[in-house]
Structure formats: C-alpha cells, structure tokens
Structure 1
Amino acid sequence: MPLPEPRSAKGATALERIVRYPAEAVLSFDFDGTLAPIVSDPRDARAYPGVTAELQRLAPLVGRLVIITGRPAEVAVEYGALDSVENILVLGHYGLERWEDGRVTAPGTPPGVALVREELPGLLRKAQAPEGVAIEDKGRSLAVHTRRAPDPDSALDALRVPLAALAQRAGLTVEPGRRVIELRPDGMDKGAALNLTVADHRGEHTAVLYAGDDLGDLPAFDAVDRLAAEGTPGITVCSGSDEVATLAERADLVVDGPPGVAGLLTALREEITAAAG
C-alpha cells in the first residue's frame, strides 16, 4: 500500500523523518472518529477493524505510540483492546489521566464536576431538550450528546448558552465536538498532553505525527506546528468527515475517516519495514 502524500512540505519532511528514524518517532492519535468510527451511542464505539492489529505491528518499530482522548483512559483501552499493544501510552480526559502498563494515574476530580452532575438533568428539562439528547457521565467530566435527536445540530445550538453558563458556575471549561458539548476540568488539553509526551521522548531525529477528527484536536495540531517551528518535524493528519471542516483545512494530510487512518498505519508500517531493509 503506498504511503499517502502530504500536501505540505512540513508534513512531507516529518513523514520522511518518521520512516527514516522510526525509533525516535512519536505517533499520536485521537480515539473516537480517528481510530474508532463515530456511533450514535458512545458506549458502542470500538476500534475500526484492523486498527489494533496495526498498532501492535507498529509498536516495536517506533519510539512511542500515544492515544490522547477525551474518554476515560480505561474506557479507551477497553474499547480499542489497547492493552494488547506494547509500548503504548493512553492519555484520558485530554491528558489528565495516564494509562500505562495497566495502571491509571490521575489527579483528584474537582468539585465542579459533582455540581454539573447534579444540575445537568434539570437544565436539559428547562431547556426543553428534545428526545434523543443524552448525558454521558465520564467520571471526571460530563458530555451532552445530540446525535440521536431529530435535528442534532439545532438541539446542540440551543444548548450552547445554558451549558456554557453552567460550566462557568462550576469552574469547568466547555469542549465542543461533533454533536456533543462536554463540560470538563480546565488545565489540560490535547496540545499540552502532546507537548509533555514529546518532551519525554525528544532525540536528535525525533518527528511527531498527530491524527484527529474534531475541534478538541486543534490544540494538538497547534502543538505539532509549534514543534515544527522549533525544529522538531511534525505532521498533522485529519480523519476526515462531513461534520468538521476546520481540521481538514489545517491538516498536512487528510484521510477518509477511520478506514483511512487504518490504511495510513498499514502504509507507514510497510514503508518503515522496507526502509530498514
């Protein structure tokens, strides 16, 4: 399978560096919408067929595999069967949780999360949220999904202001996404999480890849661009969809959703193996 060609010189440089020096490469991925298809009920999400197997094959070839997700780390591990992958780090709740070698470390949950948990059902009733709007309790954050509503986008728009007001009272931040609004603790995002990971693994020939699909991945795209400006080659990959155009406009490489990401993993492994002789 041929390796896709980035549309930027920056991305091409990073991809070439990854293939040439894979042992120093940091390959990082969002989970939902990137490694796993978006589904109506987030509890039904699972890694796209073949993705976990490709991660298993890539793991011994590269410096670090990292998953950075808004989900709890253990949930992403379960849904992606990621505990079968060596040399993988899973950062949950946008980097607040760290899963590695079967253990999770995380700070305490701020009291604002309990406030949101208590008040959110009443807020949805008062806002007359339509049938199909659902609350996802992630433990350290809560998300409101409108994907199953009759008009998901209108339902999301109607909830933006009251949810932002609740988040402000609770001392939390609002994280918009694909037909979802999440209320979560501040102080960490995917860009900061990626920066910390790269700092732990930076070497003479380090290069970085980050793949995502949603607005919450923009801070990671920003981090890759800053790293590239500072001399560490980086490539941003958009797992494309018809729901979010912003990432596609920013990305060095756009692939066709999780199937395209799976194909990229295969092509990258094959190029690395061929380059090694």
Structure 2
Amino acid sequence: MSSSYLPPPPLSLLEGAALFLDFDGTLVELADTPDAITVPETLGPLLGQLSERLDGRLALVSGRGISDLEKYVNCASIAMSGSHGLELRAPGGEIVAPPLPPALIDAVKAIQDFAAVAEGIIVENKSMGVALHYRKAPDMEANVLSFMRGVAEKAGLAVQHGKMMTELRPHGADKGDAVRAFMTEPKFMSARPIFVGDDLTDEAAFVAAAALGGGGALVGPPRETAALWRFDGVAAVARWLTDFVEETA
C-alpha cells in the first residue's frame, strides 16, 4: 500500500513489544559514504535504556555486518542481526553466520576494478558481501545495476538493492528471517514485533512483523510499503524512542 496516509505509531505500541530497529536512515542519518555517518552521543545510552524498559526485547537489524555496527554502537547486551539477516548474535553471544562462498572473493575483485574507473562510485566491503554506492554519481545507476546483475549471475550470488546502492551477497536470508529467528527466543516469543526501518531491504521485515501480530513503521518519504505506520525521518524516531523511555522511567 502507499504510505501517503499512514499515521505515526502511537507511543503505546511499544508497551509489551519486541522492538527491531534498522540502523542507517533510521537511527542515524544517511551519508554519502557508509563511514561518513554521524552517530549521536545519546544513541548508545538510549538503546541501553530501551532494552531495560523492554526487558531485553530489543534488536538491531542492519545491512551492515555486526562487526561494523559495533564500531558505532557499543551494545553487547543487545541482540543484533547483520548482513540483511545472514548474521545473528544473541545478547552477549557469538556471531552465527554461514560460510562465505569462494565465488564472492572473485566478485569483490571485479567490483573493485569496476569502481576504480567509475568516478563517484564507492565500494563497501562487508562481512558477508560487497556493495556499490552511487549516491555521488546518480547518473551511473543503470550501469551499476547492470554490472552487478552480471557479476551476480556469474558468481551465483544474490543481488540486494537499497537506497542509491546495490549489493552482492550469498543467498539464504533477509531481514524478515532475522525477525522470525529472534521471535523464537524465549524473551521475544510472546511479544508483539515492531520493526522500524527506512529502506527497501526493510520491507521483508515489515511483512514478517505483521504476520506475527505486529507491524512495521517506515522512516522517511511516502512510498509503496507493507508498513502500517510512518515517521517523517530519523529525528522523529529518536523523539518517539526517547518519549517512551522517559514515560516509562
């Protein structure tokens, strides 16, 4: 459905919920390159307080690898999923992920060679994949997408599209799978799952959350979405989360 008329989620939605949060574009503003983001000093403490208020039913679910997320958010006590559901980590636990396919190594080399002669194209090496960002070169979108499809077909990899980026990764999981996996954990299983995210990659999680009795909240401009609620932007998400923490103090 179109999100043009979706309301913001009520604060009461978080009562008894299991909360799943995307990172880029949801908790931090998007930047021209993945390492150029600015992380608010308040984010780490806010996530810690949220986890306490929700009795541990909080997870970050990102396209970034977990090791990359941990550079920006020191939350060992919070569950995390990285690489669009391929990586899972319980609070205080070890990262569980499938082995990397050998074909990914050759794909990375081809992608780096492509970016080396394409001005404005940024390569992001991930723990379970590799991405090309074309935010600085939007006119290259068609070329980038065509190139990545060709590499994916040759290597037997999956193509994952996002905002001004496209990524190659192993087949096998998405953010919806991450939600379903966490909802089998004792802390989570009796709660109502709420997923907050901004990107196309979050749609699978919106669908999964709705199927389990909850729903999704889209962050950003209206578009076709499976979400039930919408925030105008990152600042609105931060206010919602902060208001919940303060109201339940």
For 1:117-156, what aligned pairs fall within 5 Å after superposition? 117-124=108-115, 129=118, 131-149=119-137, 152=138, 154-156=139-141
> Are the equivalent residues in 2 in contact too, given 1:135–1:145 (CA < 8 A)?
yes
Query: After TM superposition, which residue ranges in structure 1, 4 or more long, deviate above 6 angstroms?
Result: none
**Residues in 2 aligned to 1:195 and 1:245: alpha-carbon distance in whole angstroms:** 25
User: Does structure 1 residue 245 correspond to structure 2 residue 223?
Assistant: yes
**Residues in 2 aligned to 1:144 and 1:192: alpha-carbon distance in whole angstroms:** 24
**Counterpart of 2:171 in 1: which secondary structure?**
coil
Q: TM-score, normalised by structure 2?
A: 0.87
**Which residue pairs with 1:103 in the alignment?**
94
**Counterpart of 2:245 in 1: which secondary structure?**
helix
Tell me the CA shift for residue 58 of structure 1.
1.4
Tell me the CA shift for residue 111 of structure 1.
1.4
Determine which of 196, 202, 206 is the counterpart of 1:221: 206
> Are the equivalent residues in 2 in contact too, given 1:190–1:220 (CA < 8 A)?
yes
How many residue pairs were aligned? Answer: 240
**Which residue pairs with 2:148 in the alignment?**
163
**Counterpart of 1:94 in 2: which secondary structure?**
coil
Q: Which has the higher helix share?
A: 1
**Which residue pairs with 2:59 in the alignment?**
66
**Residues in 1 aligned to 2:62 and 2:44: alpha-carbon distance in whole angstroms:** 16
Structure (1 or 2) with the larger CA radius of gyration: 1
**Which residue pairs with 1:91 in the alignment?**
81
**Residues in 1 aligned to 2:60 and 2:112: alpha-carbon distance in whole angstroms:** 31
**Residues in 2 aligned to 1:55 and 1:174: alpha-carbon distance in whole angstroms:** 31
**Which residue pairs with 2:242 in the alignment?**
266
Tell me the CA shift for residue 102 of structure 1.
6.2
> Are the equivalent residues in 1 in contact too, given 2:207–2:215 (CA < 8 A)?
no
AA at the equivalent of 2:224: T
Unaligned runs of 5+ in 1: 1-5, 229-233
User: Does structure 1 residue 7 correspond to structure 2 residue 7?
Assistant: yes
Change (3 A) 1:215 1:17: closer
Q: TM-score, normalised by structure 1?
A: 0.79
RMSD (Å) for aligned C-alpha atoms: 2.2
User: Does structure 1 residue 255 correspond to structure 2 residue 227?
Assistant: no
**Counterpart of 1:103 in 2: which secondary structure?**
coil
AA at the equivalent of 1:252: L
Superposed CA deviations along residues 175-214 of structure 1, whole A, max 9, x for unmatched, are 11111001111101000110111122212xx111100000
Give the fraction of aligned pairs with identical amino acids, expressed as a percent: 30
**Counterpart of 1:78 in 2: which secondary structure?**
helix
Unaligned runs of 5+ in 2: 1-5
